[in-house]
């Protein structure tokens, strides 16, 4: 099925659309419920204002994204890694992450001095 240069509101349910491709489309306001999106790819998209609830994001790789204002709540971050990121203003349970890292590094330096 090909829909091109048309404005349509689709109501799709109980369907297998695996392998489908959406390019240069306006999907604002769409709702995805009880959907398997495993193995998919999202590139060059605007997801501002999105809300993700009760989702399995294990194994995700997120790179070169703007997460400013993001709120993670009741999340399982076991094994999560944050690398080479701008952390200014980021808090964990109300504590500035940059201050936590500064205190950690100072403690590490004291430990190294004691071992020298």
- The answer to the question of residue 1 being in a domain is no
Is the pLDDT higher at 115 or at 27? Answer: 27
pLDDT at residue 115 is higher than 90? no
- The answer to the question of residue 67 being in a domain is yes
Our count of domains for the chain comes to: 1
CATH number at residue 100: 2.160.20.80
- The answer to the question of residue 30 being in a domain is yes
Q: What is the pLDDT of residues 38-96, one digit of tens each?
A: 888 888 989 888 888 898 988 888 889 999 999 999 999 999 999 999 999 999 999 99
Estimate to the nearest angstrom the gap between the alpha carbon of 86 and the chain centroid. 15
- pLDDT at residue 1, rounded to an integer: 75
- The answer to the question of residue 78 being in a domain is yes
Contacts of 69 by beta carbon, 8 Å cutoff, 6+ apart: none
With contact defined as beta carbons under 8 Å apart, do 104 and 97 qualify?
A: no
- The answer to the question of residue 104 being in a domain is yes
Enclosing domain of residue 43: 10-113
pLDDT at residue 33 is higher than 80? yes
H or E stretch covering 91 = strand 91-92
CA distance 99 to 46: 31
Q: pTM for this one?
A: 0.63
- pLDDT at residue 99, rounded to an integer: 95
CA distance 113 to 23: 57
52 DSSP β-pair partners: none
Pairing of strands 95-96, 91-92: antiparallel
- pLDDT at residue 94, rounded to an integer: 94
- The answer to the question of residue 77 being in a domain is yes
- The answer to the question of residue 5 being in a domain is no
Mean pLDDT of 5-29: 86
Q: What is the pLDDT of residues 93-107, one digit of tens each?
A: 999 999 999 999 999
Backbone φ and ψ for 110, nearest 5 degrees, come out as: -65, -40
- The answer to the question of residue 4 being in a domain is no
């Amino acid at each position: 099925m090909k829909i091109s240069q048309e404005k349509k509101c689709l109501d799709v349910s109980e369907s297998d659309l695996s392998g489908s491709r959406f390019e240069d489309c306006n999907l604002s306001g769409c709702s995805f419920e009880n959907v398997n999106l495993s193995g998919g790819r999202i590139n060059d998209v605007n997801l501002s204002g999105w809300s993700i609830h009760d989702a399995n994001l294990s194994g995700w790789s997120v790179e070169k994204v703007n997460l400013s204002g993001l709120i993670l709540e009741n999340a399982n971050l076991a094994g999560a890694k944050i690398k080479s990121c701008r952390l200014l203003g980021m808090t964990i349970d109300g504590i500035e992450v940059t201050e936590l890292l500064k205190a950690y590094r100072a403690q590490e330096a004291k430990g190294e001095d004691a071992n020298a």
